[in-house]
Chains A and B, each alone.
Chain A
Amino acid sequence: MPKEIDLSRREFLRQASLVSAAGSIAAPFALNLFTMNVAAATTLTSDYKALVCLFLAGGNDHNNTVIATDTPSWTGYLAARNIGGGASIALPQANLLPINPMTPVVDSVGTRAFALHPSMAPMQTLFNSGRAAVIANVGTLTTPITDKVDYRNNSGKRPVNLFSHSDQTAQWHSTDPAKKIYGWGGRMADQIKSSNSKQNFSCISSSGNSVFLAGETINQYQITSNGTAVPVGGLTNLFGTSSNLQTIITAPTSSNLFEIEHAAVVQRAMAAQADLSTVMAATGASVVTAPTQYTNPNTGTLANNSLATQLQTVARIIAGRNTMGAHRQLFFVNMGGFDTHDGQAPNQSNLLARISHAVSYFDDTLKTLIDTNGGPIEDMSSKVTLFTASDFGRTFTSNGDGTDHGWGSHHFVVGGAVKGQEIYGPFPMTAVTNTSAGVDNPLDVGSGNLIPQISVDQYAGTLAKWFGLSPAEITSVFPNLANFATPDLGFMV
């Protein structure tokens, strides 16, 4: 039976969450009393930066997203995926969209060539114009694993519950096994939250509760995907009388922890709603233009893209940065549907089309973003960096019309501050080990699943450095980063 926790500690934590919920800067010193585990907080108020995590839930098949098309790679690709049948997931080479990294990728496989999935034309444009980069074979690792021999001999090095959706999602969001309910986005916000006048808008999710934005002292604020924040009705006039509804819903009457925490959510909701609805920009042609529809590649028809709407909501909040006194913000946007065990060809095609359409819309919108505080229209695109993440990649082999859970994956970083048109990280050999055919892939731990050569810590640490965290703060947020040789992958200016 869990013990009743010490009254004073519980009260301490309740106070802490109440103080940060109030978002007051009147007592930054008081807040620091509650941040005992956090390194001396950095205050960054001279400029604005935002990180947007676009999480592809289910595990995106990276092998059909960024494809190596040089002859040896393509041979490996066909061997694994061209297994016939109408629903085969091998993509016809003629339909792929070439991307041309400025720095040629030459390695043990040869001089590599690359292309994107046929549905990703806007992303191809972003890459080839230097506004997007590819980070190759990145995945969950607490310490480097050299090759499959190292993997098999040292099972303690492997991430816990590799290939499980819920565990790998949590590890992508958190990277720190000791703090797995707190995300690295939230822990970054813990460090820099004093940069924001309204600290409760440091972390904003348009996709429900995320581990990614869960900080140890910061609560993420959830907003609906289309940016509306509705107030509680009946506060002043309820069924013919004034009532104490507000007290009832926000002030717990007992020491029961569930009651206390539910009341705390309601309290935060009420405090934030009044604020946010007044500071974010509206949607519309002269404010933040709504996205166009996208073309569904399977039907050829136009359809709404809810992902683009979520990114519009993010842009509308960023437009309110000066009104809400925000200098450092993190956003979380989730997109589901990537667990393509079957029906991969049409499903992934549609998902990648939506990502490309939405990300391109977001980049364009940021280039001429209004300021709700009356400032000039500004090109915010070099101050906002969007990056993709996912539970894992997928097997290189196929079950006929789909793939299974993988590990290392390829991801995109997009924005004006990205040193784009490059592929970062060694691009792996794309072949499944087949000893009878003389093919050996040292990173293949089965079914073409590859040991990542870049850890989530390195990927995230590079973003954190751009975001403005000090080296000490980066160490605090990413304790395992020290296990890797390259803490800064160099893809940000």
Chain B
Amino acid sequence: MNIPAIRNALNSIAIAVFALSLATCGYNVETSTDAVQLTPEQSSRILTQATFGPTAEEIDRLCKIGGSAWFNEQFAKPQTLHFTYMNQVQASLPAGQNLSEDEFLESFWQQAIYGDDQLRQRVAYALSQIFVISFQNDTLANMPRGVAHYYDILGAYAFGNFRDLLQAVTLHPTMGVYLSSLRNQKTVGARVPDENYAREVMQLFTIGLRMLNQDGTDTTTPPTPTYTNDDIKGLAKVFTGWSWAGPDKTNGRFFGNSSPAPDPNRDWMPMQNYPSYHEVLAKDFLGVSIPVGTSGEASLKIALDTLFNHPNVGPFIGRQLIQRLVTSNPSPAYIGRVAAAFANNGQGVRGDMKAVIKAVLLDPEAITPTGTNTGGKLREPVIRLANWMRAFHVKSKSARFTLTSLDNTQNALGQTPMRSPSVFNFYRPEYQPPNTSIAAANIVAPEMQITEETSVVGYLNFMRGVIQNGTGSGNPRDIQTDYTPELALAATPDLLLDHIDLLLMQNRMSPVLRSQILTAITSNAGNSALNKVYLAIFLTMASPEYIVQK
């Protein structure tokens, strides 16, 4: 696959041109019908929230064509499938050697850093932190192609309808494995259906624990629960009889036995329903009663329709998307606007993800800094690394982006895509770090849940090494940049910092921090240009001002 290599080359040529044109961005007279005329700061801000990180070129492009046009352009971009990459790599491996999560992570980084469809990439990543499955599950570690396909589903329905996303997730075999709905059996005597998926599909994927107003506030004080344990038991019956896809529905295939031979595509094809293992009894949940003898497929439709149409979904999912992309503590009004877009996209359709995404990312609270001391969010570690890779146009020597697990908190990021420690993601949406001004202000800071003494030091040491030596496997490391545009500015530290400020911090670097970094850059007059560039970038990325996206 040569696409990354081609992109590497094109970007090198493009950099010089775009860097020069940046100064004129936003001042061109345009007769665009787009009402939103964006400044470079606003463009950088939107790209920070809608992509894996701004680049000089994309900032310029967004300025020129405006917000709506950029989103429409992004919505129209075709999806590159991780599944295709996994198949290509498998075909090239020697006999007996199998794929692992490493190849998925290569594909992830290729697309996250060089994918044109940046909006899709970023939204898929956000969805992967809501509809969580994880390679930390031993079985999924051995189904890397299936996990890659699952991630493609998130990417595909990121611009589709939530109802379809919910069904695709529910029936994906990797989710069946992760939340044990695969091979779940009907009630027989003392044996009762596994409740895992029924619980988590409500608690985490659709309606949450508390009844909500459309603006995300609780309907009552104390809160009203959305479901009872009886609802879970009833709903669990719907998720029975589902198991591996294949040419038949024999008992052996249901259990995943070696005979009949497992379908070679069962790792990604949607689960099928086996009537002999599907619950015959009535299924009662959330005020709905599915009659005795209803088929698995029909029961699933009723169950997912019921969940999809629950008024909680808009605010529950909307708030989490805002938290993943924009800010940890959106105002109730902001949540209400996103929930309204979920309820009706303007053409009478509920669950239109494109409408939701635009509502999240083009909301006034997303585009304009709030100016309060409770605004913003910690950038998660994976995003910080991605910001660096995109801003400085890294190239992968192998063109494969051989960057694997970053779980280690001491010498890496303490976070890896698709390796959440549990279905509750790396952090909870309502996390408040105790004994802090954040808790005292009664606001939440999800990403603080993975921020602790080891990880903060690990991040600093890791980035210091990455900025100088690159990252990924090998020595020298696979993923590097030569900082060509930045080196050209090293002799003019003010301009260098302007450039980095716009790319990494949306032009919001404070005078204090700027002065601190300038002091370091200029303190050793004989320092190499490269060292000055390293200093400028590292001190920026080490600062609380960068770490907090606001």
Q: Specify whether A and B are partners.
A: yes
- Measured CB to CB, the residues of A under 8 A from B are 1-5, 9-10, 13-14, 17, 57-58, 79-81, 83, 161-167, 181-182, 186, 208-209, 211, 214-219, 221-224, 228-234, 238-245, 247-249, 252-266, 268-270, 272-273, 336, 339, 341-342, 395, 397-400, 402, 404-405, 432, 446-447
- How far is A277 from B203 in the complex, measured between Cα atoms in Å? 42
- How far is A273 from B319 in the complex, measured between Cα atoms in Å? 37
Which residues from B are CB-within-8-Å of A252?
Answer: 544
Contact A269 B457 (CB under 8 A): yes
Which residues from B are CB-within-8-Å of A57?
Answer: 422
- Measured CB to CB, the residues of B under 8 A from A are 179-180, 183-185, 188-196, 199, 203, 209, 225, 229, 232-233, 328-329, 331-333, 370, 372-378, 409-411, 421-422, 424, 428, 432-443, 445, 448-454, 456-458, 460-461, 464, 468, 510, 512-513, 516-517, 519-520, 523-524, 527-528, 531-532, 534-535, 538-539, 542-545, 547-548, 550
Contact B209 A167 (CB under 8 A): yes
List 5 extra interface pairs beyond A182-B435, A209-B452, A240-B527, CB under 8 A: A223-B454, A241-B524, A248-B513, A261-B438, A265-B452
Contact B520 A223 (CB under 8 A): no
Contact B193 A5 (CB under 8 A): no
Residue B195 contacts which of A186, A242, A405 (CB distance < 8 angstroms)? Answer: A405
- How far is A70 from B116 in the complex, measured between Cα atoms in Å? 67
Residue A239 contacts which of B232, B456, B534 (CB distance < 8 angstroms)? Answer: B534
**Which A-chain residue is minimally distant from B530 (CB atoms)?**
A239
Chain A proximity of B477: nearest CB distance (Å): 18
Contact A239 B453 (CB under 8 A): no
- How far is A230 from B412 in the complex, measured between Cα atoms in Å? 12
- How far is A432 from B189 in the complex, measured between Cα atoms in Å? 12
- How far is A478 from B352 in the complex, measured between Cα atoms in Å? 48
Contact A262 B422 (CB under 8 A): no
Question: With contacts A258-B438, A261-B445 known, is A243 near B410, CB below 8 A?
Answer: no
Question: With contacts A215-B435, A253-B544 known, is A238 near B520, CB below 8 A?
Answer: yes
Contact A233 B464 (CB under 8 A): yes
Which residues from A are CB-within-8-Å of B409?
Answer: 224
- How far is A233 from B538 in the complex, measured between Cα atoms in Å? 12
Which residues from A are CB-within-8-Å of B188?
Answer: 83
Question: With contacts A273-B453, A404-B196, A447-B192 known, is A261 near B448, CB below 8 A?
Answer: yes
- How far is A209 from B427 in the complex, measured between Cα atoms in Å? 11
Which residues from B are CB-within-8-Å of A261?
Answer: 433, 436-438, 445, 448
Residue A341 contacts which of B194, B454, B458 (CB distance < 8 angstroms)? Answer: B194
Give the most central of A10, A260, A266: most B CB within 10 Å: A266
- How far is A405 from B376 in the complex, measured between Cα atoms in Å? 36
Chain A proximity of B488: nearest CB distance (Å): 18
Which residues from A are CB-within-8-Å of B331?
Answer: 1
Question: With contacts A248-B543, A262-B378 known, is A399 near B192, CB below 8 A?
Answer: yes
Contact A243 B439 (CB under 8 A): no
Contact B436 A248 (CB under 8 A): no
Chain B proximity of A179: nearest CB distance (Å): 9
Contact B461 A221 (CB under 8 A): no
Chain A proximity of B549: nearest CB distance (Å): 9
Contact A238 B535 (CB under 8 A): yes
CB-based closest 9 A-B pairs: A214-B434, A269-B453, A259-B544, A399-B194, A240-B531, A241-B524, A222-B452, A341-B180, A341-B196
Contact A166 B428 (CB under 8 A): yes
- How far is A156 from B440 in the complex, measured between Cα atoms in Å? 28
Which residues from B are CB-within-8-Å of A3?
Answer: 374
| 6 sample A-B contacts, Cβ–Cβ < 8 Å, listed by A number | A2-B329, A2-B443, A163-B229, A182-B434, A254-B510, A404-B195
Question: With contacts A181-B434, A241-B524, A245-B539 known, is A258 near B454, CB below 8 A?
Answer: no
Contact B225 A161 (CB under 8 A): yes
Question: With contacts A161-B209, A182-B434 known, is A243 near B539, CB below 8 A?
Answer: yes
Contact A446 B437 (CB under 8 A): no
Chain A proximity of B467: nearest CB distance (Å): 9
Question: With contacts A4-B372, A238-B535, A240-B524 known, is A265 near B453, CB below 8 A?
Answer: yes
Chain B proximity of A9: nearest CB distance (Å): 7
Question: With contacts A163-B229, A164-B203, A208-B450 known, is A257 near B519, CB below 8 A?
Answer: no
Contact A446 B434 (CB under 8 A): no
Which residues from A are CB-within-8-Å of B534?
Answer: 239
**Which A-chain residue is minimally distant from B527 (CB atoms)?**
A240
Chain B proximity of A265: nearest CB distance (Å): 5
Give the most central of B188, B232, B464: most A CB within 10 Å: B464
Contact B194 A404 (CB under 8 A): yes
**Which B-chain residue is minimally distant from A268 (CB atoms)?**
B453
Contact B433 A209 (CB under 8 A): yes
Contact B453 A80 (CB under 8 A): no
Which residues from B are CB-within-8-Å of A269?
Answer: 453-454, 456-457
**Which A-chain residue is minimally distant from B432 (CB atoms)?**
A181
Residue A181 contacts which of B190, B439, B452, B468 (CB distance < 8 angstroms)? Answer: B439
Residue B457 contacts which of A10, A232, A244, A262 (CB distance < 8 angstroms)? Answer: A232
Chain A proximity of B511: nearest CB distance (Å): 9
Question: With contacts A2-B441, A209-B449 known, is A163 near B199, CB below 8 A?
Answer: yes
Contact B535 A229 (CB under 8 A): no
Which residues from A are CB-within-8-Å of B373?
Answer: 4-5, 10, 254-257
Which residues from B are CB-within-8-Å of A432?
Answer: 190
- How far is A399 from B190 in the complex, measured between Cα atoms in Å? 8
Question: With contacts A10-B437, A230-B410 known, is A397 near B192, CB below 8 A?
Answer: yes
Contact B461 A233 (CB under 8 A): yes
Which residues from A are CB-within-8-Å of B179?
Answer: 341
Chain A proximity of B129: nearest CB distance (Å): 15
Contact B435 A216 (CB under 8 A): yes
Contact A229 B454 (CB under 8 A): yes
Contact B453 A402 (CB under 8 A): no
Chain A proximity of B460: nearest CB distance (Å): 5
Contact A398 B440 (CB under 8 A): no
Give the most central of A1, A166, A252: most B CB within 10 Å: A1
**Which A-chain residue is minimally distant from B189 (CB atoms)?**
A83
Which residues from A are CB-within-8-Å of B190?
Answer: 79-81, 83, 397-398, 432
